[in-house]
A = this chain, B = another copy of it.
Amino acid sequence: MRTAEPVGDDDGRRATTAAWAEVSPEAARRLLVAAVEAFAERGYHATTTRDIAGRAGMSPAALYIHYKTKEELLHRISRIGHDRALAVLRKAEAGGGTSAQRLADVVRSFVRWHAEQHTTARVVQYELDALGPEHRPEILELRRQSDAVVRRILEDGVRDGEFDVPDVGGTTLAVLSLCVDVARWFDEAGRRSPDEVGDLYADLVLRMVGARA
């Protein structure tokens, strides 16, 4: 159980803004944060570039200096979100240790990311179909690379006799699905912190792969 007070909207917004620190200039970053919030609240198709500019306290003309279309905003969000998620997975994988330790680290980090960045993660996961045909293959390739991290660890564990996994492809899918769905149900005001969910899920996944204790 978390000991701090529930995190309010302001903290949520600070977390979202901090996550986009790499985007510059500042006006482009503000527009991106406004787009994430608008897409998460009303959906991509119900949001106009005028809505996004208004949320960012800017004019539609100012928006067009940075983003030519609404789809360009979604693509930037999706690209950065997928890059981050993949970086989180690869960092955990590179941490070393046994296959069980690496798998637990990967699940813990990936869950924490989907809990802390749940607003961004929802947009990234639920608006994939709205990406244009010129952007979709690039994003799908990043998703394949994320899948590959989990699959590699499962294969290593099976080869070394650490894991018992009859269906590596299906189990990879289930592990990633469990982590991704955290973005749907996670609530800052809820009973579990991102770290607590990460620890719980790491234990459940080690059980799924029949890790030797």
Across the interface, A208 reaches (CB within 8 A) one of B43, B197, B208, namely B208
Across the interface, A184 reaches (CB within 8 A) one of B125, B166, B170, B185, namely B125
Measured between beta carbons, the chain B residues less than 8 angstroms from A46 are 42-46
A9-26 contact mask (Cβ, 8 Å, vs B): 1 or 0: 000000000000000000
Question: What is the total number of residues of chain A having a CB less than 8 Å from a CB of chain B?
Answer: 30
The A contact surface, by secondary structure, is helix
- Known contacts A46-B45, A184-B180, A170 near B126 by CB under 8 Å: no
- Known contacts A42-B43, A43-B43, A46-B46, A192 near B170 by CB under 8 Å: yes
Q: Which A residues contact B (CB, under 8 angstroms)?
A: 42-46, 125-126, 166-167, 170-171, 173-174, 177-178, 180-182, 184-185, 192, 197, 200-201, 203-204, 207-210
